[in-house]
Structure 1
Amino acid sequence: PPLLSTTTAVSAIGPDGKYYPNPADDDPPEAPEDSMHGVNKFQQIQRQAARARKIQEEEYKKDQPIFIKALEETEDVPVSVNDDDAGDDLFGEIDKAIALKRQEFIKQGLIKPRPNKKPEPEIESVDELEPEEVVDLEEINELHGLTQISEDEGEEGSDEKSDFEVSDGDFSNSFDIDFDEFGKTKARIVEPKFKMSLAELLDESKVVPISVYGNLEVEISGISHDSRVVESGDLFVCCVGRNTDGHLYLSEADKRGAVAVVASKEIDIEATLGCKALVIVEDTNMVLAALAASFFRHPSRSMSVIGITGTNGKTTTAFLIKGMYEAMGLRTGMMSTVAYYVHGDNKLESTKTSPDAVLVQKLMAKMVHNGTEALVMEASSHELALGRCDEVDFDIAVFTNLTSDHLDFHGTEEEYRDAKAKLFSRMVDPARHRKIVLVNTPQGILEISSGLLGRHNIYNILAAVAVGIAVGAPLEDIVRGIEEVDAVPGRCELIDEEQAFGVIVDYAHTPDGLSRLLDYVRELAPRRIISVFGCVGESDRGKRPMMTKIATDKSDVTILTSDNPKNEDPLDILDDMLAGVGWTMQDYLKHGENDYYPPLPNGHRLFLHDIRRVAVRCAVAMAEEGDMVVVAGKGHETYQIEGDKKEFFDDREECREALQYVDELHQAGIDTSEFPWRYVVQ
């Protein structure tokens, strides 16, 4: 179907790499047709990229005569390539480059040599100038497009606003994102706009309603299932969650401008609501993904989509695959728990680490509209179980591993496993069934040097390599793409302030993840391992004692603390964790009365503090030369949730702050038999 768009911003790059003007409301562009029968999406993308490169080469060839003519009009300048004195300044280097290019073109027969003019008579009396007089620095800066602005002028004359300073009325159809690689230009990411009548949406999504009331020709300009973010012209879908019911917020959605409602209960819209249409379906949760995908024109069909699921390793594997695809010259987006990228370094800010069905489709539509050719997407068990990925057309599915996690949500390990398996079951397409014969044809041996820490990252790298081989990527691109990923935020991230011991911050928040992390750290042969971790509140209680047992077995010193306790009492969480060593909170507090905590039977030490900032700083304070401090659980996260409050908190920043006081704390005589309550800088 044609892409209905009301975007009025600058031109955007289409999926085929070409520039398209923004469509008028009454004349939307049609999506490019897929006429390559029997060719998979990745091959289509490769062909599109090849065509784009060919067009670019033709543009260069078109400009070549102009360049040759300019060189013909330039006099031959004698240049010595080995002359160290040639081209000491900017303009000398330019003259040197032009002369070399002339010589190259003369050898190729593209231009003819010209006789040099007689040299100008030398001027005998020339005043010797200082270097700053010879080169006008301001003029050179202007040639480079640089303008020097004083601090006062910059502060008074700047019209730019940060994301936090922009008011609601300042939002436009596009926004700027810095291009970090060069630091000179900005990529303008265009926000596409869509509209569709309710009747068209129901037809396109194949949603069969039980009953319909009102005007089905009402125009829809957005979809939402959260009444707090409804905008004028939206379709509001009353989804039913574990803790709330969207039907309870109909009046709020109506006040914010919803023009139509999809519900699973009969509602008198004339008496209670001002919206123009009501659609009753059997299950609103089941139709949300289909409605969103149809409204945003099934964007996943216009990209090569790689889905990654598993308990651990999803984010690192996603970064590796993204790097590999970019090494192949493809504009690659990413949706992960760490960040959303349109493509390249163009990062989108979002408060949701696990996107809902509407946000998934909206983000993909934005990527397609801005020329993204491939997408690497983490698919968590929650997203799969709740149907948020049901309308995503995955081309490749990656499975990292499976260990116990999220049993508070799934109930049993079998249900958790089945949720992960949904990623693969959706890829079974009868139209693509073929008989497959595997022939062993080794392509070569890859030597990959990675800066990623930890033995477990070998498996993540192998998963990325498997994807590259599956799509027929050149081996050199596989190697180059993986080697360019030298760090992933919050994954075995080293905190280096030139201290005499190591500090690692990691996202490990499961028994298996913590065990693998501590095993890797032990391979580094530190003098001692000092670990800090907590368990999330209102979550899987069964893993709490397991993680304590693992930490105390594999760490010389363990400090238990809080990690997003939410509405659960942090001390109750710690009590569950202490069960891993056969203690209770009451047993532990008795030791604290004497300011002495006895070692565990294995000789290791165990402390606890419900304030995470204190626990992190105590761990750093205890560390001495040759030790390794491991702060686990949050990784890239930059918040702590206590009750209904969500405040900024970053383990990495806390470690850096604590390292500023480490010498002072060491002088205070901290040791591992006395918990340093009174020495911690609050």
Structure 2
Amino acid sequence: MSAATSRTSRGANATARTTWGVGMGAGRRRGGGSTRRPGRTVGARWTREGDGVDHGRAGARLEVVRASAANADAEVDAEALLREIFADAEVDAEWYGVDEDEDVEISGIANDINALLSGDLFVCPVGGEAGASLAREAVAAGAVAIVASERVEGVADVPCAVVANVDEALADIARVFYGDPSTALTAIALTGAVGKTTTSYLVKSVFEAADIKMGLVGSNGNYVRVDFEEDDLKLTTQGGVWESDEEDTTRDRTSTAPGWLAPYRGKYEFEELGADALQFQQLTAGIADNGANAAVMEVSAEQVRRKATRGMNFDIVALTSFEGARKNYNGADSEYSSFVADVFKVLENAETQRGVINIDEEDADLCREYASGVPVVTYSTQIGNTAADVYPARVDFSLFETAISLSTPAGNVEVVLGLVGEHMIGPICCATAIGLAAEISLDVIAAGLEACEVIPGRMELVDMGQDFSVLVDNANTPEGIERVIQSVRAANCRRVITVIGCEGDMGDERGERAVIGKVAHDMSDVLFITNDSPKTEDPYKILDDICGGFRNEIYENDKIKDEALFPFLKDMYEVHENAQYECMRLQNLVRRYVMVDRFHAIRAAIGMAERDDVVLILGRGSKDYFVVGREKHWFDDVVEARDALQKIGAIQDSGVDTHNLPWQSLAARATNPGAGNLLG
């Protein structure tokens, strides 16, 4: 498959076209015109030189036909006329504050008052008085025009366009303003309930193995590869290159400290709810402007519901899995799969587009229907499922890697990846199918898969040479926790030691805490209930809610029911100091621990691990902050786990027993069983 890398100036007379092959002929949509850098450089005038590029390698073809030299060298005005944009986007509007023969120049688009710059068009994200208030605030901040669902009072000095559907209008005008950027590269959409992030990193690695510079938009952030010899650039939500505007005060720290909240400054932040329609266009333009030839993007059902992908011209759309999808999504199970399937509606051109579908999914009928007009590559996670194009012939799991033999139409290949767990099969097969859909050769696909050594926060292995596995994952729902634990059980681990917490301010979802506690209790050999971002809630109350899922079962345990004279499923510092040792003794007996400080919980879990155990640190994944009250503080599970592994071995070598709580000096315990608490 090929990917275009140029865009022409708005209104240029050049007949810019890009061609690319996918084995079914050639032909490509015409790219629109770029208007400005997405990195919010208002008023800039800029050019991009045209060149013919052949990035093909081992079957991967990237053929680019640029605009004529005269137009390739033309400067592109950073401003655009609003009425022209509406006309090009075919958006109907009622205009107020501007005559029919008048127009207004805009230099950007914003739908977030915090991202607005002077000269921008402001699109009201809500209606009513709340939207009117935002519109007036935007005008005061420099907005030169407003788009809203109804006429806004108090903004007579600037043009106001009233549209029937703000979400659709935003998507359409953003596509035109940013030059239809998804036509300037190979755009890949990953949709489904689970597996999108893991698959996106694998796809990126596969394309880069084919010497294709790649952008990524997803739940771990937004990135673009500009130089194969350098790290990825981080992108802001608006598509500009991110640079810290303040000092990172924790950059050189190897961990936090007990009970200490480190300041969260100078860190990379992004929109964790996923891109909206404007941000998809901005990010795609940012990826293309930085020289990438392709982009892989996570697309959730919620984003589809919000019309975030309207205006995106995806070349490959892939379905990961519906497993673990929320039940009763907006009142009906079928509605979730319907939203996901909608992404496949863009697949209309059999010469230039491809679908990739997981045939294990019974609810994928709509995806198949919408993709029926284009070639589809299918895959399955079931060993030996010859009904699929791509499937595993054999899989071997260990606590540190996964070896998989893949059967494909291009032949068979064996790969070994440093990714742990049975549920990695799906993303590996999906990424392979996407690579084949892009006509990347199988040997390059295999090299790309094996080159993907880590996926941040997705079963991320923290390996310091220990003889047990430590994995950090973002699983934070009952379904996700169950899936992860089942997955590591397939690797024949000795014990599963789980660390889990729940965020505060969950509202109506507070009841899920007990369900999470119950699932983790039922499936773990050793369990640590600890803190996550408590926000404005009492962290001890959150722990109590989680323990509510299994508390009665523990207290009725034959091992301890005659000994437990007080409620001991609490943080040891919540009980009287005279009862703290007994609290720990009882928790040791049932291997269920409660610790409000996640710093301690991670270290206690790792200290307890022995050969062939798995320590699962769940719920936060790649998130590197805590929220306490309304303030962010630095805390990174991977950093804390690495620090624990570096230090606990030396602590154990010094004669400290870390396999029970509290940690004790072996020498001190020989004379006084209650002495030597070294953990707190």
In structure 2, give the amino acid aligned to 1:213.
G
| Secondary structure of the corresponding residue to residue 352 of structure 1 | coil
Deviation at 1:679, TM superposition (A): 5.1
Structure richer in helix, relative to its length: 1
Cα deviations by residue, 1:427-469 (Å, 9 ceiling, x for unpaired): 3679997597999994321222222222221221111111122
Cα deviations by residue, 1:306-330 (Å, 9 ceiling, x for unpaired): 1112222211111111222223332
Q: 1:413 to 1:509 in 2, by over 3 A?
A: farther
More displaced stretch, 655-664 vs 317-326: 655-664
Count of residue correspondences: 524
Residue in structure 1 matched with residue 271 of structure 2 by the alignment: 352
Residue in structure 1 matched with residue 529 of structure 2 by the alignment: 560
Deviation at 1:643, TM superposition (A): 3.1
Cα deviations by residue, 1:91-136 (Å, 9 ceiling, x for unpaired): xxxxxxxxxxxxxxxxxxxxxxxxxxxxxxxxxxxxxxxxxxxxxx
Q: In 1, Cα distance between the equivalents of 2:114 and 2:571?
A: 49
Q: TM-score, normalised by structure 2?
A: 0.67
Q: In 1, Cα distance between the equivalents of 2:472 and 2:376?
A: 45
Deviation at 1:372, TM superposition (A): 2.4
Where does 1:549-628 land on structure 2 (aligned, <5 Å)? 549-583=518-552, 587=567, 593=575, 594-595=579-580, 596=582, 604-628=590-614
Q: 1:38 to 1:629 in 2, by over 3 A?
A: closer
| Secondary structure of the corresponding residue to residue 300 of structure 1 | helix
Pair 1:199-2:118 in alignment: no
Q: 1:632 to 1:469 in 2, by over 3 A?
A: same
Residue in structure 2 matched with residue 219 of structure 1 by the alignment: 105
Q: Which runs of 5+ in 1 are unaligned?
A: 1-13, 49-167, 175-190
Q: Is the 8 A contact 2:5 2:288 kept in 1?
A: no
Deviation at 1:332, TM superposition (A): 2.1
| Secondary structure of the corresponding residue to residue 311 of structure 1 | coil
In structure 2, give the amino acid aligned to 1:214.
V
Q: In 2, Cα distance between the equivalents of 1:237 and 1:299?
A: 20
| Secondary structure of the corresponding residue to residue 535 of structure 1 | coil
Q: 1:437 to 1:429 in 2, by over 3 A?
A: closer
Deviation at 1:220, TM superposition (A): 0.9
Q: Is the 8 A contact 1:384 1:420 kept in 2?
A: yes
Cα deviations by residue, 1:339-392 (Å, 9 ceiling, x for unpaired): 322335432243223222222101111222333222111112332221111221
| Secondary structure of the corresponding residue to residue 393 of structure 1 | coil
Cα deviations by residue, 1:527-578 (Å, 9 ceiling, x for unpaired): 4332101233444445433332232222221112233333444344434422
Q: 1:415 to 1:644 in 2, by over 3 A?
A: farther
Q: In 2, Cα distance between the equivalents of 1:602 and 1:420?
A: 46
| Secondary structure of the corresponding residue to residue 235 of structure 1 | strand
| Secondary structure of the corresponding residue to residue 150 of structure 2 | coil
Deviation at 1:223, TM superposition (A): 0.4
Where does 1:432-471 land on structure 2 (aligned, <5 Å)? 434=373, 442-471=409-438
Q: Is the 8 A contact 1:546 1:580 kept in 2?
A: yes
In structure 1, give the amino acid aligned to 2:206.
M
In structure 2, give the amino acid aligned to 1:395.
D
Q: 1:624 to 1:449 in 2, by over 3 A?
A: closer
Where does 1:161-310 land on structure 2 (aligned, <5 Å)? 194-214=78-98, 216-240=102-126, 245-268=130-153, 272-273=154-155, 275-310=157-192
Q: In 2, Cα distance between the equivalents of 1:542 and 1:42?
A: 55
Q: Which runs of 5+ in 2 are unaligned?
A: 32-40, 48-74, 237-269, 354-371, 378-386, 390-407, 556-565, 665-674
- For residue 659 of structure 1, the aligned residue among 645, 657, 664 is 645
Where does 1:322-401 land on structure 2 (aligned, <5 Å)? 322-343=204-225, 345-350=231-236, 351-353=270-272, 354-401=274-321
Pair 1:33-2:16 in alignment: yes
Q: In 1, Cα distance between the equivalents of 2:291 and 2:14?
A: 13
Q: Is the 8 A contact 1:508 1:634 kept in 2?
A: yes
Q: 1:452 to 1:273 in 2, by over 3 A?
A: same
Deviation at 1:35, TM superposition (A): 7.1
Q: In 2, Cα distance between the equivalents of 1:266 and 1:616?
A: 55
Residue in structure 1 matched with residue 253 of structure 2 by the alignment: none
Q: In 1, Cα distance between the equivalents of 2:504 and 2:676?
A: 27
Where does 1:633-648 land on structure 2 (aligned, <5 Å)? 633-648=619-634
Residue in structure 1 matched with residue 194 of structure 2 by the alignment: 312
Q: In 1, Cα distance between the equivalents of 2:18 and 2:590?
A: 66
More displaced stretch, 565-574 vs 287-296: 565-574
In structure 2, give the amino acid aligned to 1:347.
L
Q: In 2, Cα distance between the equivalents of 1:405 and 1:536?
A: 20
Residue in structure 1 matched with residue 62 of structure 2 by the alignment: none
Q: In 2, Cα distance between the equivalents of 1:508 and 1:367?
A: 29
Q: 1:227 to 1:668 in 2, by over 3 A?
A: same
Cα deviations by residue, 1:512-531 (Å, 9 ceiling, x for unpaired): 33223223433444443321
Pair 1:545-2:545 in alignment: no
Q: In 1, Cα distance between the equivalents of 2:289 and 2:24?
A: 17
Q: 1:172 to 1:37 in 2, by over 3 A?
A: closer
Deviation at 1:626, TM superposition (A): 4.7
Q: Is the 8 A contact 1:616 1:654 kept in 2?
A: yes
Larger RCO (CA under 8 A, 6+ residues apart): 2
Q: TM-score, normalised by structure 1?
A: 0.66
Q: 1:618 to 1:396 in 2, by over 3 A?
A: same
Q: In 1, Cα distance between the equivalents of 2:199 and 2:95?
A: 45
Q: In 1, Cα distance between the equivalents of 2:19 and 2:80?
A: 28
In structure 2, give the amino acid aligned to 1:227.
I
Residue in structure 2 matched with residue 419 of structure 1 by the alignment: 339
Q: In 1, Cα distance between the equivalents of 2:569 and 2:374?
A: 66
Q: In 2, Cα distance between the equivalents of 1:193 and 1:603?
A: 71
Q: 1:633 to 1:659 in 2, by over 3 A?
A: same
Q: 1:659 to 1:435 in 2, by over 3 A?
A: closer
User: Aligned Cα RMSD in Å?
Assistant: 4.4
Q: 1:196 to 1:590 in 2, by over 3 A?
A: closer
| Secondary structure of the corresponding residue to residue 257 of structure 1 | coil
In structure 2, give the amino acid aligned to 1:224.
A
| Secondary structure of the corresponding residue to residue 548 of structure 2 | helix
Deviation at 1:424, TM superposition (A): 2.2
Deviation at 1:499, TM superposition (A): 4.4
Q: In 1, Cα distance between the equivalents of 2:127 and 2:648?
A: 47
Q: 1:299 to 1:208 in 2, by over 3 A?
A: same
Q: In 1, Cα distance between the equivalents of 2:289 and 2:15?
A: 12
Deviation at 1:670, TM superposition (A): 4.6
More displaced stretch, 542-551 vs 217-226: 542-551
Q: In 1, Cα distance between the equivalents of 2:24 and 2:169?
A: 26
Q: In 2, Cα distance between the equivalents of 1:468 and 1:556?
A: 39
Deviation at 1:675, TM superposition (A): 9.1
Residue in structure 1 matched with residue 484 of structure 2 by the alignment: 517
| Secondary structure of the corresponding residue to residue 97 of structure 2 | strand
Residue in structure 1 matched with residue 561 of structure 2 by the alignment: none
In structure 1, give the amino acid aligned to 2:134.
Y
Q: 1:220 to 1:409 in 2, by over 3 A?
A: farther
